[in-house]
Structure formats: C-alpha cells, structure tokens
Chains A and B, each alone.
Chain A
Amino acid sequence: MLYKLAWQSLLHRRTTALLTIFSIAIGMMIMLSIHHIQQQTKQGFTNTLSETDLIVGARSGPINLLLYSVFRIGSASNNISWDSYKTIKRHKNVRWTIPLSLGDSHQGYRVIGTSEDYFTYYRYGQKQALAFAEGQPFSGVYDAVLGAEVAKKLGYTLDQKIVLSHGVAKVSFTHHDDKPFTVVGILAPTGTPVDQSIHISLAGMEAIHIDWQRGVPVAGIGSGLKISAEEALTKDLTPKNITAFLVGLDNKMMTFRLQRAINDYSKEALMAVLPGVVLSELWQIMGGVEKALAFIALLVIVASLLGMVTMMLSTLQQRQRELAVLRAIGAPPWFMFCLIQLEVLLLTLAGLIAGTLLLWLGMLVAQPIIQDNYGLLIESNPISYTNLLYGSGILGIALLMACIPAFAAYRQSLGQGLTARA
C-alpha cells in the first residue's frame, strides 16, 4: 500500500516528477559517461599494443611518439634513417622489429609502410596475433593489406585497385594515381587502430615517392622526369628513412639497457620509449582533466538531487491535507517518513535508469565516431560493476538528502491534529 501510495502520488505530479527524473538522468549520464569513456579508452589504448618492448623514433616527446606510431594520432616531426634502423635491428638482444613508415592515406585511412614482420610479430590485446579474414600478406611492391574497418566501410574486396593520397588529411589534393595498389589481404577485426589502417610494403612506399622530393612531385604530369609504376620496379626501392619502429627483445631484462643505448646513439637523435610507461604518463595527464570532469558531474548530480529535495519540501505544503487524512485513519508518523523516502527512491532510481539508458544510446551513436577517429572500439553497454557502485552511491546520497523532507513530513504529521485545515 505504501508503494501504491508513493507511485500514485508521483503519477499525480507526473510533470514535476518527470522533470526531476530527467535532471537526475542527465547528471547520472554525465557522471557515468566520463567514467565509462575514460575506462574504455584506457582499455582500448592498453589493448592496442602487446609484447612490444620499445618504440623507437626521432627524438621528440614520448607521448607524441606513442600516439603517432601506434595510435595513428598526430604526425611525426622527423624521420629516422634506414641505416640507424638496420644498426639497431642487428643488435644482439633484438628479436624482432616492425618498421613503420607513415604519411600517406587513402580516403582518410592512414597508410602504413611496413615489412612482413608486421603480420608475424605484431601483437594486441592479450598477446593476440593479427589474423587474415581474407587473402594473405603483401608480397609485391603494389600490394596492400586492409584493416577490417577499412574494407568494411569502403566496401573493398580482394583485387580491388586503390589509389593512395599524399598526406594524412581526410581530403587530399595530391594522389599517387600513377601507381595504384591491389588489395591482396584483409585482416580480421581487432578493435584497435590496425582496423583503420592500410598496410603496404616499405618498397611500395618508396616506389610511390620515387619521383618526389621534399613532399612534392618533382615533375608535372607528362614531363619526362616522371617515373612510371613499371619503371619504378627496376629501381632500388630500399627506403632511405622510416618514421618509427617497434622492437621486441629476447630478454625483457635488457629493455632498459637497450633503451639507454638507443637514446645515446651518436649518429642520429633517436628516442626509445617503453609503451607501458608512456601510457601511464598519458593517463597521468588525463587524470587531472578526468578528476575535474568527475567533480563537475558530481556537482550536477548533487544539484539535481537538491532540486528534487526542494521539490519534495515545497509539495509538503500542498500535501498537508493528504498527510492529515493518513494520520487520521491511523498512519503513524514514520509512515509519512517512509512515503517521502520511497518517492525519492523511485524518482532517483528512475533517474539512474534513464541516465544509463541515455548513455547507452549516446554510446551507440558515439561508438562509430570514436572508432573512425581513434580506431578504438568502445563498448556501448555502460553497465559495469563500478558504475553500479556509483549508482548505489548516488542512491545513498539521495536517500540521505531525502531525510530532510521526510523528517519535515514526519514533524508535520506529528503536529497535525485530526482536522484538515483548509
């Protein structure tokens, strides 16, 4: 009966109740989304790279190096020479390397020039290797291997001819249309930026830039300086430089020693970073922002809860007769207390559920956008143990705050005589 009373009472004031629920839902949504997105991106970033001991690139910021080499975010400030790469690759502790040559794109998807070792040694998630959904690794100069999302979004299949564009912007005005590539393989989905990448050989990368200098074609169309696709094959396609490379060691204990050796490399300004260390640096930077956002979300929640409590208190005036009736027919004062608490419980619960649903919907919308831009697959379902914990925390705060109007109702009904003052 108490439940029915609370429910009918809210239904009676459904406009106010709905608005209250909505404001709690928004607070809840903000709070959960901050937590959820942060958690999911962390997981996404962490899952992208596994088993890689060092990332080596030109000397710049460690976070920048990590972002452009692994997450395809931003771009390199400088390249490293092929000689330096070969020297480090031959180091006795190095088990494998994956060279990465960046800078081109296709329809906004980044192109990675690399070696076959990419498909052999690259690991993501829980030490998972890349798998082919169709086809095989590239073998020819003009072969390309697509990430799962690229193939899906652009509707490409094997043997498709694609033209790469210079630069990494979505819209590019210079195309390598004289040297089209053929899709020979499509990778299985990984939920990492690999899905958003197009992989070609370093030789292919060299070939499309063979008649280029300093980022522009040396000759216009039709000029004698242009080198055709077939002609390029006869030239030396050993790259002169690459953007970065990943290193796997025989013995993890040697990581720091090799890192120091690379950082002290005299012939070129190189930098080696440990992906895990850089990631935690990144989290540290994001941690401050995250805390600020979480604090704002908490304030939003508290504000909406305060709004609800105020609403409850002010309706007590209108509900005086109702409380008098209940008192007259024998309801003890704690019954009124429970009634108010139950109404608050129902409102908050509805707000929390609505907020979670809103977030879920929001995530369904945001998921493809995040995946397109950052290559991270974010779970759309926001229900997790921690979020349930947050929810019950908010519920606890709400019930605590509801003591104010509930106690007021208690007091009011205690002092209320057997007469309903009109």
Chain B
Amino acid sequence: MTNTLSINIEQLRFHWKNKNTSNSAVLDIPQWHVQQGESIFLHGPSGSGKSTLLNLIGGILSPTEGKVTLLDTDIHQLSSTQKDRFRAKNIGVIFQQFNLVPYLSVLDNIRLGQQFSGAKYDLSRIQDLCNSLNLTIDLLHQKANQLSTGQQQRVAMIRALYHRPPLIIADEPTSALDTDTRDEFIQLLLQEGQQNNCTVLFVSHDKPLATHFDRSVALGEINHAV
C-alpha cells in the first residue's frame, strides 16, 4: 500500500463565487501528491488557504477547476451524499477544539463516528485505543463536556482512528493544548497512524512541530495563487 497515492491534486483552482470578493483564485495548485502512509506537516500563515484546501480534500467545497483524487477516487465526481459517505468512511477529522457533541457521552461520540463510517461496533477496539491514548475506560460514560481539552482531543483521535480510515486530517488539533500534552498528542497520533497505515495530514502554523513529521510542506510552495 505504501506506493499508492493517498492524495493526488491536479490543476486545482479555486475561487469563491461571492460577488463581493474579486475573482482572483485563492488556491492554484498545479500538482501535489501525498503517498499512502506518509505523515505531512502543512503550514502557512492564517488566511493562506489551508482550511480551504482541507475543505476541498474533505469534499465539502468543490474546486472551480481541476481534480482532487483520494485513493483513486475523484471525489468531486461523486454526488454530495456519496461525498458525505466517502468522507465518513475514509477520512478521520480532528479539529482544533470542540470536536465532540457536548451532550453525548464519550462512548456515544465515538459510536456516532463509527455509525456514519459504517464500521462494526467493537467495544474492545475502543478500549484498546483508550489504553494506548492513556484514557481511562470509565471516561467513556462521562458527558463529553466534562472532559478536559486534552482528553477531548484524544477522544476525537479515537473517533478519527476507530474505523481505520486511510487518511486523517488534523486541523491545528494541538493549538488549544499546552506544550507537554501537545507533544504527547502528536506522538500518539503519528504512532497510531503508522500502526494503521494511515496518511496523516497535519495542518498548523506552529513550525517547530514539523520535526515530528516525515515531510513538511509550506502551502506557499505548492500554491501558485497570489
């Protein structure tokens, strides 16, 4: 699997259809690809289009031109329902903060992701993930909003990893964490990603973190838009 392409972007152009903004492209990426199993650190200043790129990869936004291929699937050929299903099954997403539905228990949060992905329910897998991420099992029955931010981020990681998606997108998942928890979080993410042969696309503006990853990419290098 290591030789297949996880993300393959060709001739991608994107600009907002909003009347108020000029028609100049936000993104113009002639070519960019990521190998399956690679861990990528994508950085760039705020407003440089990182989130837009993630939304294009996640199938939330559609490119103005060009195509985005994930695991041999041109995702923008899919209908919106198919895109949602594809995302649920193949991409694990971890946000900066507020990853969980606050009023559901931790277990229900994880199960929510599991059900959308179509994976089978396996409590022992959840328990295993809890163990490897240093979360005690009894946390599973607590309400998500009772957890600390660090714990919440790790639960989000369990949810993202549970169904073994080929790609994990993490959008500044550590910016709300302190330095110690941040390094531990990245270590765990990469370790689990490796074990599951998972591509990790990690977005941050915190450049020093790049040392943890296989490859570091500045958005400005691949994006030709001004």
- Could you list which residues of chain A lie within 8 angstroms of chain B, going by C-beta atoms? 1, 4-5, 8-9, 11-12, 321-322, 324-333, 416-420, 422
Contacts and interface: CB of A to CB of B under 8 A. Distances in A.
Contacts of A329: 88, 93, 112-113, 116-117, 159
B61 interface: yes
Contacts of A4: 104, 108
13 contacts: A1-B111, A1-B112, A4-B104, A322-B102, A325-B98, A325-B100, A328-B93, A330-B87, A330-B89, A419-B96, A420-B96, A420-B99, A422-B98
Contacts of A326: 101, 112
A5 B55 contact: no
Q: Is the interface of B mostly helix, strand, loop or mixed?
A: helix
A55 to B, nearest CB: 66
Given A4-B108, A420-B98, 5 more contacts: A1-B112, A11-B103, A12-B103, A330-B113, A332-B85
Interface in B70-119: 80-81, 84-85, 87-89, 93, 95-104, 108, 111-113, 115-117
A332 B104 contact: no
B115 A1 contact: yes
Contacts of A1: 111-112, 115
A115 B226 CA distance: 108
A329 B157 CA distance: 12
B54 A419 contact: yes
Contacts of B93: 328-329, 418
Interface of B: 51-52, 54-55, 58, 60-61, 80-81, 84-85, 87-89, 93, 95-104, 108, 111-113, 115-117, 159, 169, 171
Nearest to A320: B98
B5 to A, nearest CB: 21
B156 to A, nearest CB: 9
A322 B145 CA distance: 12
A332 B84 contact: yes
Nearest to A12: B103
A331 B97 CA distance: 19
Contacts of B111: 1
Contacts of B54: 417-419
Given A330-B116, A417-B61, A418-B51, A8 B108 contact: yes
Given A418-B51, A419-B54, A325 B169 contact: no
B124 to A, nearest CB: 21
A221 B171 CA distance: 103
A52 to B, nearest CB: 65
B51 A417 contact: yes
Ranked nearest first, the 5 interchain pairs of A and B with the lowest CB-CB distance are A330-B88, A12-B103, A330-B116, A328-B93, A332-B84
A119 to B, nearest CB: 68
B60 A418 contact: yes
